[in-house]
Structure 1
Amino acid sequence: MSGLRNATRHKLAALVAAGVVLTGSAPLTAAAQQPGPEPLFAPIGLARTQPSNSPPRLRLDVDQLNPRVIRSDTPQITVMGKVTNVGDRRIEQVEVRLQRGDVVTEEGKLRAAMTQPPAAEAARPPFKPVTKSLEKGASTAFTATYTLDELKLDQPGVYPLLINVNGRPEYGGSERLAGLNVLMPVLSLPGRSAPPAQVPPKVTVLWPLVDEHPRVVRQRENDRQLLLADDDLASSVQIGGRLHGLLNAVESATKQNPKLMSSLCFAIDGDLLETLQAMTNGYQVQVGDDKTVPGRGKDFARRWLDGLRSLTSGQCVIALPYADADVSALSRAGAVDLAKTSVNQGVTSVSKALEPTKPQQGVLWPVDGTVDPRALSDVGGLTPTVVLANPERLKGVKGPGPFTLGQNDRVLPIDRLTSLALAGPASAAGPVSVQNGLAALLFRSTRPGQSVLVAPPRRWTAPASELTVYLETIGRMFTDNLATASPFADLADSPEGSATALDYPEQDVAAEVPAGLIDQVSQANAVQRDLLGAMLPDDTRPVLPETLMTPVRNGLLRAASSGWRGNVEGGRQAAATAVKQLDDMRAQVKVNPPGPPIVPASSNSPIPVRITNTLPVDVLVKLVIKESAGLRPGVVQQRRIPAGNAFTDLIPVELLRSGKFTVDVQVTTPGGTQLGNISKFEITSGAYGTITVAVTSVAGGMLVLLASRRVYRRIKQRKKQEPTPA
C-alpha cells in the first residue's frame, strides 16, 4: 500500500462562464468546455444577467476551503485558489468575496439547497483584491480569509456559502465572472460549545468498489490471456486513478482513526476482482477489430488487489451482483436464472478473491436502492434477504428502520439526504458534492437516536483528497461523540419497524438498462440454457459443461450491467461479444460437408450424415432434414456425440421421385437450438419411389387389361366372319 500513500491530491475546481445566471437557473454548461483540474460546476446564486451567448471569462480553481466544518474552536474561514483568464480580453480589478445565505434548519430546505442553491445575500463582507489586471491566458493565486463575525454566523446549522469572483473585462463594466456554491455546516460557535446529542446517531458507511462498466472481451482461459476492450482499468487502479483514490482514502483516514473502520462496509463487484486478478497474469488490450497490444496494468492490478486484501481483512464486505447486473431488468425480462446467478456468483467471486474474508450472506444492494418486488423474490427465493433500499420505495411503514418485510426479508433504509448530497446534481458532482455530503451528515447528527446508512454513488468520482476529508470528518464525529460507529452486521440484525411491500414505479423502470438490450441478453440466455442442458461431461476430460458455459454467462451478465445505463451502444457491443462467444460454441457441433452427390441404392435407402463435435464435452443432438418435393424424412433418433469426435448417423428417408435435388440438413439440441450451419446435400436418385411404382403398376395393369380386351374382341369378330359348316 506504499503506492496508495503517495497518491496525489486533487484540486477543488470551479469553472463558470461569464454568462452567469439567476438563482435556480440551469448549470452553466458553456464552462464545461474549458480545461481544468477536477472541474467543479455549480450555479452561483444571484448575479447580473448576461447574454446567453456570452463567452467564458474566468476560471476559478479552489485549492482549499478551511475548515470544512465550523466548531467552537474555529476563528475564521480561509479560501485559497487560483483564477485564470480564459476569455479573449484583459480583465481588470479582479476581486473575491466569501458570502453566505440564511441558515438552513429543515431537511426539505436542505435538499432544495443542494439542487438549487439559495441566494447567499444574508452576509456580504467587503471584496478582497486579487489582482489589478489579468491578461488573457494569465493566472494568479489568491487567499481570502474572513472571520465568523464578518460572515455574521450566529447559530448552529447549515449555511449556503458563495465564493464570488468579480472583475471588469476590457470594454465592459464590473460583473460577476465566476462563483462556487457550497454548504458549510456549523456545529457550534466560539464561546458557545454545543453539547453532544443525548443519543448520537449510529452511522454505517458503504464504500463501493466497482468499475465504470465491464471491459472484458474474452476471459482468461487455458493458454489464452485476458482480452480487454480498453486499458482504462489500469489507469483507474494506479496512482491518481479513481479506484486507487477510493482505497487510498480509506487507508489514510483509518490510520488516523482506527475506530472509523468499524463503521465501513466495502461493497465490491466480483467481476472487477476477477478482471484485476487475470490482469496480474498479463493481458491484451483490443485496439482494432483484429489487433491487440499488451496491457500495461499488470503491476498496478497486483498492488491494488494486495491493498484491498489488506484493508478488508476481517472487515465487513458485501458482494454486489456480478458485473453489477441490473437484476430488476433481468427478472422483468424473464431471465430469472441469470438474475439469480448474478447474485450468487457475485458472492462466490468476491469470496474467492478476498479469501479468507467472506462477504455478508444474503445482502442485496440494488442499483439506486430500488428493486422490483418480483426480482427480489426471484433472486432470494425462500432465503432471508437483507435489502439496502431507498426508504421512499417502502409501503405500509410502521415504526423506525430497519424494517421487516414479509416473513423472510429485511430492509435497511439508505439515508436519502446524505445519498442525494453525495451524488449531487450534474452541476455539482465531485468536490462540491462531498462538501455537501459532509453538511448533510452533520445535519443528521443534530437528530439523535437515528440509524444512518450512508450510500455514496456506486461509481463515485470524487477526488481522493476529498474522499479522505470526508472519512476523516466522520472519524472526528465519532471522536467528538456526535455519532456512533455502527458495524453493518449490528445494523442488519436490529429490525425495529415493519413494511408491507416495496414499490417499483415507472421512473425506476425507465432508469433500467434499456429493454431492447435486456431482451437481446434474455434471448441469448435462453439459447445458452438450452445448449447447457444438451451437454454431458466426458469421463476422459476434466471439463464440466457448467465450467465451459461460464464465460458466456459472465458475458451476458456484463452486457446487463447497470454501468451501461446511459451508454446503450456500449451495452450492445458487450451483448454482441457474448452472443459471438455463444455462436462460436454452437458452431463446434456441426454436420460435415457431404462431398459428392449421394446416390441411394433404393427409394428407402438411408442417407449417411457425419456429425463432428469439437467441444470438450459430449453433446446430445438431433438431426433435422427438411422435407422437400423429392424426399420424405423418417423418424430421427436423438444421438450423443462424444467430445472431440465425429459420428456417422444413417437417416431414414423415402425418395419420392428420381432425378437430382438438394436437401437441407442441420443438427440441433433436443430443445431445438440450431448447432453449426445448415448443410445442403445433393441427391441423385435413379430409383422409383413407392408412389411411382404404384402408379406404374396400375398403368401396366390397365395396359394389360386393355390389350386383353382388344385381343378378345378380335377373336370374337373373327369367329363371326367364319362360314358355318354344312
Structure 2
Amino acid sequence: MSGRVPWRLWAALLTGVVAVLTTPFAWPADAQPGRGDDPAHAVRVDVTSLSPQVVTGNGPNKVTVTGRVTNTSARRIENIEVKVQRGEGLRTTDQLRDALHGSGNFGYIVPAPHQVAEGVDPGQSVTFTLETKLRPIASDSLRVNEPGVYPVAVVVSGRPQRGNSANLDEARTLLPVTGLPDGGPNASADRPAPLTMMWPLVDRPRVVDTADDGRAVLGDDELATSLAAGGRLSDLVQAVELEAQAGSPLAAALCLAVDPDLLATVEAMTRGYLVRRDGTAEVEGGGGNAAKSWLGRVREIAKGRCVLALPTADADVVALSRAGLSEATGRAVTEGARTVKDVLGVEPVPRTVWPHSGVLDERAMADLAAAGTQSVLLEPRGLQGGPANAAPVRVATGQNPGGQAQTPVALRVEPLFGAALDPVARGAGEGGQAATAAQNALGVLVHRTTVSRPDGPLLLAPPRRWALPVDALRSLLQTARSLVTGRLAEAAGLAQLAAAPPGAGAVPLAYPVDAGAQEIPPTVTARLSEVNNQVRDLLSAMKPDPANNNYQPSNLVNPVQLGVLRAASTAWRGTPALAERWTAATVAQLADLRDGVKVLGQATPYTLASSDSPLPLTIANTLPVTVHVQINILSATGLRTQKLEVQQVSARTSRSLRIPTEVQRSGQFYIDVSVSTPGGTPLGQTTRLRVTSSAYGTITTAITAGAAVLLVALVARRLVRRVRAARAGATTDQGVPVAHGTTGRSGDEGASES
C-alpha cells in the first residue's frame, strides 16, 4: 500500500489539469492578438495613381505607381517594401469578371521589391512612387510583350515587431495595353465595335418645399457646391467640354443621361432660392451664380448631342408599380421628357427609359409600355437568357396593356463597366478607391473593344451618381476617343441603337432578388399611394377661377406630385429612413394644401331663436382656385340638420351658408362640422361649434301641450266632483232635520263631506 498513490491524490491532480486546460490564457497587455496585429491587416495600401493609365505604342516603356502605405496595427512595422506584380493577360469576360472581384489566380510575375521606408509607426503613413519597366524580359520588368488587359497587384511587405517578414496587404487593379512602346505590336480589330457611352448627370432630390413667394426651398446647400468649379457635377460637364466637344470623334457616342428634377431644381436656383436650416429656419441660398453657369454649360454641351431623360427624380419605377402607382410612373416618364426639352431646349431620345440598375419586373415594364415606352436599357441579368450576342432583343412580358401589338425592345448594357465603377457609385470613396475604380473602368473599356469584343453594340453605363476626379473622367473619355480614332471602336448614338431592328423572338424578364431587397419599402409606397389618390381627388374638385386669372389647379398640386416622385427616388434605395423622411415631407405638403379650405369657427355660441332657425356657417377658401366641397355635420342629440348639396367656394373667398335645422329641445349643443371634396378627401380640420336654443322643439311642444290638457282635465274633474257633492248636501238639508250635539254615523258622514 505504501508504494501506491492514493486515489484522492490522482483525483486532485486530474482536477488541476482540467482547470489549467479550461482557463482562458491571459495575454500580456502589449501582446494581445487582434485585428491590428493580424499580418493580413497590419497595413493598408492605397494606389493613388497609375501612369500611364493605358499603355500605348507612343508612350513610355514603364509604369509609374504612386500610393500610400498606412500602418493600421498597434505595432511598428519594419522594412516596408513594395512591388508591382503582373498577372497573365485576361482572355475572356469571365476572367475579366474574376479580376474585378479580386478572385482568380493569374500566375503573377513578381519583380524585385523596393524598400519605401525603414519602418512605420502605428497610425502613420508613408507615400511611395515606384517605376517598373514594361519590357523587355528582365527581373526588374513586368515583361509585357503583347496588347491586352493585365491584372496588376501592388503588394506591400514588412516585418511587424515581434513578428516575421510577410506580405501585409495588396491593391489590385487592371493595366490596359493597346500598344507597346519602342516598336512593339499594337491592338487591332477586324471590325470596330459600335460604342455608346452614357454620361449620367444625376443628383438626389433637394427641394423640400415652396415658399410663399414661389421660390424653391432646399433642404441643404450641398448642390451649390457640386455645381461650382471643382464640384462633382461641374467636373462631369468639364470633362465633356474638354474631351468630347460637338463634332469630335467621340461626340456621337456620348449620351447625356439627365434627371429632369435636377434640371428643374438648378433652374429654380437661378431665380433665387432658400435653404432650410435645422428643419425650420430658412436662409438665402448662395449658389445662384453657380447654378446659372452650370445650366448654361449643360445647355451648350447638349446642343446636337444625344440626351436621355431619366424618370423625374430618378423615381423607382418598380416600387411605384408594385404599389399600384402606374399613373405616377407614367407622369415621371412623360413629364420628365417634357422638362428636359423645356430647360435644355433639345429633344431627348424619344420613348426610351433607363431604369435604375438596368432591371425591371413585368408590372413595371407594362406600366412603362402603357406610357409609350418603346426601348429600355437593361443589363443581361435583367433578362432570362437570350441570344449570346449583345444585339437588341424584344422583351416578352405576361402583361400587355392596351392590347399593344409589340412590347418594348431591350438595349443590353455591358455590366462589367458599371461593376468596375461601383465603389464610386455614391461618392468618391475612401483612400485610393476612386483611382482604382477609374483604372478598372479603363480596363473594361479596352478589354471589351480589343480582346472580347461583343457581337453587337457595346453600351456602357456608369452608376447614376458616380463621382470621379476630373482627370479620371477626362482619361476615360480620352481612351474612348483613341479607340474610336484607332478604328478599334466606332461611335454609335443611343437613338441609332434604339432604331435597330431587334433579333427574332422575345426574351422574358428576370428581376434579381438583390434588386428587390434594395427597393423603396412598401411602407413608404403605401403612404405615397394614399397621397397620390388624395391629390387626384383634389384635382377633380378644383377648377380655374376667372376672377383669379384662371390659375390652373395642376400648378397647385404639382409640388405634391413631385414630392411623391422625390420620396420614391432611387437615391434612397438601401436607406429606408431617408425615404420615410421625404415621404413625411410630402404628406405635410398635402396637409398644407388641404388646410386651404376650412370651416371658420366662432368665438361666441350661435343662438337659435326658434325650432327651425337655420344654422349659419362660413367656409373659407384661401386657395387660388375654385373648390367644390361637401359639408359634413355630426348632429347632436336634440338637433337635426339637413344634408346640403355640393357647394362651390370661389378662389380666395369665404362663403356663408345657412343650414336648415330642427331643434328638438332647448339648451346647449356641440356640433362637429367639417368639409371634404365630393370624393371624400378631408379638407381643413373639423370645427366644433357651440349652439344654444331657447326654442321648443316639436316634441317638447307636444309634451307641454299634452301636460296642459291633462292638467285642465284634472282640474275640471275636481270641479265637477265638488259641484256634485254640493248638490247632494243641499238635498239632505231640505228633507231631514239635523240634531246638533249628537254623534252617530250620519253625523260622521256629514262631517266627512264638509
TM-score band, normalised by shorter chain: 0.7 to 0.9
Q: Partner residue of 2:694?
A: 686
Q: Distance in 2 between matches of 1:156 and 1:524?
A: 58
Deviation (angstroms), 1:346: 1.2
Determine which of 292, 308, 315 is the counterpart of 1:302: 292
Give the equivalent residue in structure 2 for 1:261. 251
Q: Which amino acid aligns with 1:162?
A: A
Describe the shift of the 1:109–1:709 C-alpha distance in structure 2 as closer, same or farther (beyond 3 A): farther
Describe how 1:153-232 pairs up with structure 2 within 5 A.
153=144, 156-187=147-178, 193=185, 196-211=188-203, 213-219=204-210, 223-232=213-222
By how many angstroms is 1:616 displaced? 1.3
Cα separation, 2, equivalents of 1:417 and 1:362: 26
Per the alignment, residue 94 of structure 2 pairs with 108
Q: Is the 8 A contact 1:396 1:499 kept in 2?
A: no
Give the 5 Å matches for 1:561-576: 561-576=569-584
Going from structure 1 to structure 2, the CA distance change for 1:625 and 1:66 (only over 3 Å counts) comes to same
Asked if 1:461 is matched to 2:481, the reply is no
The one of 535, 543, 551 aligned to 1:528: 535
User: Distance in 2 between the 1:519 and 1:526 partners?
Assistant: 11
Change beyond 3 A, Cα 1:505–1:119: closer
Contact 1:96 1:144 in 2 (8 A): no
> 2:639 is matched with which residue: 631, 638, 641?
631
Structure 2 distance, partners of 1:519, 1:539, is 37
**Alpha-carbon spacing, 1:500–1:138, altered in 2? closer, same or farther (3 Å):** closer
Structure 1 pair 188–51 and aligned structure 2 pair: CA distance change class (3 A): farther
- Where structure 1 has 5 or more consecutive residues not aligned to the other structure, the ranges are 1-49
Give the conservation status (yes or no) of the 8 Å contact 2:614–2:660: yes
* Partner Cα distance (2:121, 2:510) in 1: 57
Contact map agreement 1:257 1:475 (CA 8 A) in 2: no
Larger radius of gyration: 2
Amino acid at match of 2:521: P
Residue type at the aligned position of 2:324: G
Asked whether the 8 Å contact 2:630–2:678 carries over to 1, the reply is yes
Which of the residues 604, 616, 640 maps onto 1:608?
A: 616
Name the CA distance, whole Å, in 2 between partners of 1:144 and 1:434.
Answer: 20
**Are 2:567 and 1:581 aligned?**
no
Query: C-alpha separation between the residues in 2 aligned to 1:297 and 1:310?
Result: 20
Code of the residue aligned with 1:593 in structure 2: it is G
Once residues 506 and 451 of structure 1 are traced to their aligned partners in structure 2, the CA distance between those partners, rounded to angstroms, is 28
How far 1:366 moved relative to its partner?
A: 1.1
Q: Say which SS state the counterpart of residue 68 (structure 2) adopts.
A: strand
1:418 matched to 2:417? The reply is: yes
CA distance in 2, matches of 1:206, 1:612: 52
Residue type of the alignment partner of 1:461: A
* CA distance in 2 between partners of 1:89 and 1:268 (Å): 50
Q: Is the 8 A contact 2:44 2:70 kept in 1?
A: yes
Q: 1:442 aligns with which of 446, 451, 472?
A: 446
Check if 1:347 corresponds to 2:337.
yes
SS of the equivalent of 1:672 reads coil
1:374 aligns with 2:363: yes
Q: Report whether the alignment pairs 1:591 with 2:580.
A: no
**Is the alpha carbon distance of 1:604 and 1:342 closer, same or farther for their aligned partners in structure 2, counting shifts above 3 Å?**
same
Which secondary structure state, in structure 2, belongs to the residue aligned with residue 434 of structure 1?
Answer: helix
Gap change, CA 1:100 and 1:604, over 3 Å in 2 = same
Encode CA deviations 1:290-333: one digit per residue, 9 max, x unaligned.
Answer: 32333222222122112111111111101111111112212221
Distance across 2 between alignment mates of 1:195 and 1:571: 48
Offset at 1:249? 1.7
Kept in 1, the 8 Å contact 2:484–2:490? The answer is: yes
Residue 517 of structure 1 is aligned with which of 516, 524, 549? Answer: 524
Q: Which amino acid aligns with 1:454?
A: L
Tell me: CA distance 1:143–1:658, structure 2 relative to 1, closer, same or farther (3 Å).
Answer: same
Residue 129 of structure 2, aligned match among 111, 125, 142: 142
Question: 1: distance between equivalents of 2:416 and 2:279?
Answer: 46
What is the DSSP-based 3-state SS (H/G/I as helix, E as strand, rest coil) of the residue aligned with 2:264?
helix
Residue by residue over 1:565-612, the C-alpha shift from the partner in whole angstroms, topping out at 9 and shown as x without a partner, is: 133232223222222222222222111112311121222221000111
Deviation for aligned residue 1:51: 4.5
Q: 1:560 to 1:596 in 2, by over 3 A?
A: same
Aligned CA distance change for structure 1 residues 371 and 631 (closer, same or farther; 3 Å): farther
The answer for the alignment partner of 1:14 in structure 2 is none
CA drift at 1:289: 3.3
Provide the residue aligned with 1:66 in structure 2.
Answer: 51
Q: 2:666 aligns with which of 627, 647, 658?
A: 658
Query: In the alignment, residue 540 of structure 2 is paired with which amino acid?
Result: G
Partner residue of 1:52?
35
The aligned residue for residue 433 of structure 1 is 437
**Number of equivalent positions:** 674
Query: Is 2:320 the partner of 1:335?
Result: no
Structure 1 equivalent of residue 267 of structure 2? 277
Residues 382, 331 of structure 1: CA spacing in aligned structure 2 closer, same or farther, 3 A cutoff? closer
Give the conservation status (yes or no) of the 8 Å contact 1:201–1:483.
yes
Q: Is the 8 A contact 2:423 2:433 kept in 1?
A: yes
Q: TM-score, normalised by structure 2?
A: 0.82
Alignment of 1:485-524 (within 5 A): 485-497=491-503, 498-524=505-531
| Aligned pair partner of 1:649 in 641, 649, 657 | 657
Deviation sequence 1:443-495 (CA, Å, 0-9, x none):
22232542111111011122222121111111111111111111111111002
- Hey, what's the Cα distance between the residues in 2 that align with 1:470 and 1:608? 73
Indicate which of 374, 395, 398 corresponds to 1:385. 374
TM score, norm. by length of structure 1: 0.85
Q: Residues of 2 paired with 1:219 and 1:627: CA distance? A: 39
> Which residue in 2 is equivalent to 1:621?
629
Match of 2:546 in 1: 539
**Which of 66, 75, 84 pairs up with 1:81?**
66
Separation in 2 of the partners of 1:300 and 1:265? 23
**Contact 2:616–2:658 under 8 Å retained in 1:** yes
Is the contact between residue 421 and residue 441 of structure 2 (CA under 8 Å) also seen in structure 1? yes
| Other structure's SS at 1:126 match | coil
Mapped to 1, the partners of 2:224 and 2:341 lie a distance apart of: 23
Structure 1 counterpart of 2:318, which letter?
Answer: S
Quote the sequence identity (%): 38
- Say if 1:107 and 1:718 are closer, same or farther in 2 by CA, change over 3 A: farther
Output the amino acid matched with 1:508: A
1:655-677 Cα shifts (integer Å, max 9, x gaps): 23221121111121111222122
Aligned twin of 1:394: 383
Match of 1:570, SS state, is: helix
Separation in 2, partners of 1:326, 1:538: 36
For residues 320 and 620 of structure 1, the distance between their equivalents in structure 2, rounded to whole angstroms, comes to 36
Q: Would you say the 8 A contact 1:131–1:140 is kept in 2?
A: no
Match of 1:364 in 2: 353
Question: For 1:347, what is the secondary structure of its paired residue?
Answer: helix
Match for 1:414: what amino acid? V
